[in-house]
Each structure stands twice: as C-alpha cells, then as structure tokens.
Structure 1
Amino acid sequence: MPSQDEILAVILGGGRGSRLYPLTKMRSKPAVPMAGKYRLIDIPISNCINSEIFRIAILTQFNSVSLHRHIYRNYHFDNFHTGWVQIWAAEQTMQNADWYQGTADAVRKQLFEIIATRAKYVLILAGDHLYRMDYAAMARFHWEHNADITVAVQPVSKDEAHRFGILKRNPNFQLTEFAEKPHDPHLLEELVSRDDPQKPYLGSMGIYLFRTDVLVDLLNNYPLDDFGSHVIPQAITTHTVYGYDFTGYWEDIGTIRSFYETNLALTRPNPPFDFFDASAPIYGGTRFLPCSTVYDSKMKNVLLAEGCCIDHADIQDSIIGLRSQIASGVKIDKSIIMGADYYARTDQVDIGPIPMGIGQNCQIEGAIIDKNACIGKGVIIRSFPRGTDLDFDNWVVRDGIVVVPKSSILLDGTFIGPGSKD
C-alpha cells in the first residue's frame, strides 16, 4: 500500500472573502484569527502534520502578506526532514495572464509545481473550515478502493441540504450523482443515501483526494473552474469516485455569523470542538509572550490568550485574544476581542488620540473587535437585530453583529447599537 509520503496537500487560500468582510479587509480569509490565538490556516496545516503529510502547498492570491508572514514564521521543518510548507502565490506568466478564476482553476495554474513534486496523490483542502480529521485514514480508504478520486462526505439533514453539494452514494461507497445546493423535492428524494431519517443525505466537505494523473487529466482536458460545482460532477461520469465518511465536528467558517457563533461556541464548558487534544494538537504561532494578568475581575466562559492585561473587568461568554488590554470598569458579553499584533508604547509621541485596547467603562455586547483597534472610554456597543447590515467608516454591522475593523478608532463616548446614527 502507498504511504503518506506520496501525498501532496494543496490548501486553497480563497479569493476576496467578501462574506467575511471586514475581517478580510486587510488579510486573506485563511489568515483570519481564530479562537484567540490561532488563524484559520492553522487547522488544515495541523491536520496534515498530525496525519503525517509533510508536503503542504498553500495557494494564495488576495491580501496574502499577513498569511505569508504567518507561514514563514511558524512552519519550518528541520534540515533532516523532507517536509515543507510553501506558499504558491498567483502569478502572471507567459501561459497565464489572469488570476485564479475558481478553486480548480487555481490548482490548474499550479500544475507545473504539482507535477514537479512527483507526488502520486494530491489532497485538496480548504483554508476556512474548523475540524479535526485524520487524512491518513481517508488515504487508506482511497487506496483500498483503488479510487481515482475520494470525496470526504458527512451526513446532512433535510433542513440543511440546500447549503451543501449533495452526493448520491451506492452501497459500495461509489458516488453516482451530484447536485449543488438542491432545492427541488423530487431531486432531493433521488439523492437519499442514508437510512437515517434525520440525516438522509451526504454532503461534500470540500476535501478531495486525487490520483495526480487523474487530476492533471481533468484540469487539462476540461474547462472546469471549480471543484465542487464542476470537477466532481464531471469526474463522476468519467472516473471512479468514492465517498469517505466523516462523522466528527466540521464547520464552514464562511460568513461573519458563522465565524461569530463558531468562536463563541468554543467558550462553553463542553465545546463542540476541543483544542485540548494532545494526540492531535492544533499548531499556531510561536510567541514569546508573558502570562496574562487579571486584576480583581469577573470572568465566566472565557477563552483567554497570552499576553493580556485585564483590570477590574466583567467578561462572560467571550474570547479575549493575544495582547488584549482591557481597562477598569469594562463589561464584555458574547463578543470576540481579537487583541493586538504588538504592544503600543506609551513613550511614543505619535501614539494617537486613543490608546490601543478597550478603554475604561466600556460596555461591549454582540461584537467582534478586530486587532489593534483603539476603543475609547465609555464606548457602548450593542448588537442589532439579525439580518441587519450597515456600513460606516469605523464600524459595520453584518447580520446584526457589530464588527470594528482592524486598527479602527472609536472615540470616547461612542454609542453603537439600534438607533445609533454614527
């Protein structure tokens, strides 16, 4: 049987990430901070390392500087190891003058690099999902079934079928039909693959394992731009495509609402995803930060990262990210405070009108405060009704959630909430 050494992992860095805006205003989607101290890209990279897949390429295109910096600083194998983590950025060449047009087109434009690795198998992954998965088990399934392509699938309920690419699978695990986000009741009836009445369907997770020669053939001979919508439906008619079962936690973090709710779920006593797994850890940045200091504060259901200073605050059901500075009298509820990339020096002359962090006597509820934000004294932030979308210079609302973009400044006494006029 082949080994994981013959697998190349290709992680798709995504495009503009408009559904996660303004978190993607100054960074690519995989570089968005997650769970206080990680970035989204750390999830698939960690899964690869834990699965002993050590050749990892990340395809990037949009706002990729911070992602490049994160990869360069944190993912190095030693000189006696054959593994690597590389950034493959979109580029104009004599053969291709345009940028990536979709997930499959991105891989097509890197086929030369893929072939140069001499990997016999290519594992295609997304850079914006939260899950823990053993890709080695999926690879063994692929080899045992002599598959051309294997798609990771998960059970899907009737209510959520319209959100997924739904796949029909026969008793031999081979996929026979595909429909992208189907709504037609008659079509859905034909796509039932499971006996479970609660979750009768199988949805694609956007995780694909290809034989390299099959991948090259499909991308060179068919004008296909997207894996989910184009490549897999085409391959089902021309190649042997199998569905590999995954029943663990998996969440697509594609919108501000899903990002917000997924993060806050991690603060619960029994979170749906557990970062405390010594057998399959999630790796993040190596930082030399002091322990967080908390003075006379009340905290309940809080994820607290390193390097924070919290003084006489009341915080619950929230995430407090790296280097967060929270002054006295602050109340934070159901919010994500991403922290800062650095400590602001008080001896600097041009420190600005508002110090970095959360100022005294602020009240923040239902919000996402991005990194390096300066929140003045007495600022009040309240969530809006679900479905509300608003845009202002220093804050926006997405599906009712207030988002303060990276490095924004809110002056003393600012009020944000239903009825506010900025």
Structure 2
Amino acid sequence: MQSLLAVILAGGTGERLSILSQERAKPAVPFAGKYRIIDFTLSNCVNSGIYNIVVLTQYQPVSLSDHIGIGTPWGLTTPDRNIRLLQPYLAREEGRDWYKGTADAVYQNLDRVEGEDVDTVLVLSGDHVYKMDYSPILEFHRENGADVTLAVTPMPAEELHRFGTVVVDEKGQVTRFQEKVKNPQSNLVSMGVYVFNTGTLRQWLGGGTGHDFGRNVFPRMVGSGRIFAYTFDGYWRDIGTLDSYWKANMEVLAMSPSFLGDAAWPIHTREVVGPPTTIGDNATVTSCLLAGGSLIEGHIEHSVISPGVQIAEGAIVKDSIIMGNTRIGRNCVIDRVILDK
C-alpha cells in the first residue's frame, strides 16, 4: 500500500488516567503486562500491510520515542518501510503552535503529509485497544467514492455519552455526527479510525474550521462532503479513564490466549530484556497474565503482572494491575488495584 500513509495521533495528555499518564504519554501507558497501548494500533498497521507510518507526539514524547525507537519490533527498518515520530515545533511561520486538537495536529503537519505523495491518509488514534485489519475499510472507502470514511462500532446506551456518535442512512453515508451528547440518536460510535483522501484534508482542515475532528470537522462535513461509516464488529475499547483501563485489562485477560496469542495477528512490542519469571514453591497463580522477569512468592489471582514485579511470600493480589518493577511486601493485600511503581 505505497499510496497510503498512516498518521497516528499520540499527543494527548490523558488527564483522566490520572497519575498513570503523569510522566508518560497516554499511548505509552503499559497494558496487558508487557505491552503499551500504542502497540495495538502499530501492530494493526503492519499486520494490514501498511508500512509508511507517522506518529504525531506532543505530551511526554520521550516515553514514546524510547518505546518505538526506529520501529524494529514492527519490522519498520528496511528502505521501503519506515516510521517517523513528529513533534510540534515553534517557528516564525504563521499559525505554528502547540497542537490544539486532533485536526490541528494533522493540519500543522499537512505539508509533510502531502510531501509523501500519497492519495489516501489513514488517521488513527494511538490510545485504543483493538485488533483490526484496515484493508476492508480502505476498500469500502474506495468503492463508495468517499471523501472520508469513519470506522464505527456499536456501544451500549450507558456508554454513548463518552463518544462521538454517527447516524447513517441505508447506504452507510453519514447524515449526522454528534460529539459526546447526552441523548444521541445512534448507538454507533466513532472509533478514531478515519480514511481521508489527501485532497480532502487540505480542503477541510485549517481556515477556521476548528481544531478537532469530532467536535468541528466532521459535523461541518455532513451534508457537504461524501462522508461514510464502516461498521466494525470486533473488540474495541477506548482507554479514557482509570475505570475503562482496568476493565479493558480484565477483558483482555479473560480473552487470552486467543486475543494476545493469535499467531495470524501478532501484537508486537519492544521486548524488555530480563530473566524468566520465577514462581516460588509456596506461590499460587490463578488466571493471570505474567510478563517476564518477575518473582512471585505470594498468591495472585485474576491479575495482570508487568515485567520485573516482586510479590513477597504471604502477599495476596486479586483483580489487580501491577506495573513494571513494583515490589509488594510480605502479607500485603492488594484487591482491585492499579499499582504503578
């Protein structure tokens, strides 16, 4: 797919994740033991045959650059495969500033996007957990002659207020886009997966159109451009709050090994070099995800353990997420906790 560029939005502060994103970018927050949240979007790209990728960073960018590097875990180091991390910068040119939103981030890098000489731009959020082959939505976009195609997925009524919702007609064309309203008219939510014609980006970004795709750009496009919705029925979670972060980890734990261990759709990550995990003679481990390099001497149940964790004898860990290099002392009881070092 050499006429395609993937642009991953990874600059958000993730304030609702509290201290988990205080010193790291939200897409760099650990997930499911050994992964980072952005690993899912990056792996979706390479598994879909997309090897030309730009990551737009802003908040705490070092955490992402350290993790992604030159893209070795994703096989992006050959001449025809590459990944670049772009940060906002201040210059004398008019309008150059820190990113004010998702659309503004793409707009400020539009010259670089157009310089890639591609006809299609796949804009992706870097803070969602899902496994998706992007080939069908790209084909859907071309077949419908769309200006932009949004990936959407059904969501329970009690969750709809957290998302942009999409109303479509019988042909799949978007007739209304509502951004985080109390009483939406549809149960289809935007997944943060957008297929744009390159010319459409230039037409609709900038010029006072607003800074955010969901809040500004898409509502204005409805009725004026050919905007379509592609329905995705697989697992997808937005990691927007501490509660949703905990729930998503527990859901992936319940789906494993099929979700994380699918050889046909591997989730790549930067591996942490270290010894294997050691489980002591008196330890008990039930229904857990264990990353490498840990020492387990206590009781852990239905929990997610990152690399380098030490759990002492007599300690009890249940329904919890333990981040890397955390130490839990003797006889401690950790129940339904997210614990970062």
**TM-score for the superposition, normalised by structure 1:** 0.76
Partner Cα distance (1:167, 1:272) in 2: 33
Partner Cα distance (2:296, 2:79) in 1: 42
Q: Which protein has greater RCO, CA pairs closer than 8 Å, 6+ apart?
A: 2
Greater shift in the superposed pair: 30-39 or 173-182: 173-182
Partner Cα distance (1:160, 1:266) in 2: 19
The amino acid that maps onto 1:319 is V
Match of 1:352 in 2: none
Partner Cα distance (2:154, 2:78) in 1: 41
After superposition, what is the alpha-carbon deviation per residue over 1:129-163, rounded to whole angstroms, capped at 9, x for unaligned?
11111111110111111111000011234333323
Unpaired runs of 5+ residues, structure 2, are none
Offset, 1:14: 3.1
Offset, 1:254: 0.7
Tell me if the contact between 2:51 and 2:76 (Cα under 8 Å) persists in the aligned partners: no
Match of 2:324 in 1: 339
Partner Cα distance (1:319, 1:303) in 2: 5
Match of 2:330 in 1: 360
**How high is the sequence identity, in percent, across the aligned residues?**
40
Give the aligned length: 338
Offset, 1:78: 6.5
- 3-state secondary structure, aligned to 1:228: helix
CA gap of 1:229–1:339, structure 2 versus 1, over 3 A, is: same
Match of 1:238 in 2: 224
Q: Does 1:163 align with 2:162?
A: yes
* Correspondence for 1:5 among 2, 11, 21: 2
Q: Does 1:40 align with 2:37?
A: yes
**TM-score for the superposition, normalised by structure 2:** 0.94
Q: Does 1:292 align with 2:299?
A: no
The amino acid that maps onto 1:252 is D
Match of 1:369 in 2: 339
Match of 1:254 in 2: 240
Match of 1:344 in 2: none
Tell me if the contact between 2:76 and 2:83 (Cα under 8 Å) persists in the aligned partners: no
Tell me if the contact between 1:166 and 1:203 (Cα under 8 Å) persists in the aligned partners: yes
- 3-state secondary structure, aligned to 1:265: helix
Partner Cα distance (2:57, 2:140) in 1: 29
- 3-state secondary structure, aligned to 1:91: coil
Say what the alpha-carbon RMSD is for the aligned residues. 1.8
* Correspondence for 2:303 among 310, 318, 335: 318
The amino acid that maps onto 1:36 is G
CA gap of 1:229–1:51, structure 2 versus 1, over 3 A, is: same
User: In the TM superposition, what are the counterparts of 1:126-165 in structure 2 within 5 Å?
Assistant: 126-165=125-164
Partner Cα distance (2:242, 2:257) in 1: 19
Match of 1:181 in 2: 180
Partner Cα distance (2:167, 2:336) in 1: 40
- 3-state secondary structure, aligned to 2:21: coil
- 3-state secondary structure, aligned to 1:151: strand
After superposition, what is the alpha-carbon deviation per residue over 1:179-208, rounded to whole angstroms, capped at 9, x for unaligned?
222334xxx4xx35xxxxxxxx32211110
CA gap of 1:165–1:78, structure 2 versus 1, over 3 A, is: closer
- 3-state secondary structure, aligned to 2:157: coil
Offset, 1:237: 2.5
CA gap of 1:169–1:300, structure 2 versus 1, over 3 A, is: same
After superposition, what is the alpha-carbon deviation per residue over 1:333-387, rounded to whole angstroms, capped at 9, x for unaligned?
11111122xxxxxxxxxxxxxxx622222221121111xx3xxxxxxxxxxxxxx
Partner Cα distance (1:304, 1:73) in 2: 27
Mark the structure with the bigger radius of gyration: 1
Match of 1:327 in 2: 312
Unpaired runs of 5+ residues, structure 1, are 193-200, 341-355, 374-422
CA gap of 1:239–1:222, structure 2 versus 1, over 3 A, is: farther
Q: Does 1:279 align with 2:264?
A: yes
* Correspondence for 2:87 among 67, 86, 89: 89
Offset, 1:77: 4.2
User: In the TM superposition, what are the counterparts of 1:45-60 in structure 2 within 5 Å?
Assistant: 45-60=42-57
Match of 1:210 in 2: 196
Higher helix share: 2
Tell me if the contact between 1:47 and 1:135 (Cα under 8 Å) persists in the aligned partners: yes
Partner Cα distance (2:168, 2:79) in 1: 39
Partner Cα distance (2:257, 2:4) in 1: 30
The amino acid that maps onto 2:42 is I
The amino acid that maps onto 1:316 is E
CA gap of 1:272–1:278, structure 2 versus 1, over 3 A, is: closer
Partner Cα distance (2:207, 2:316) in 1: 59
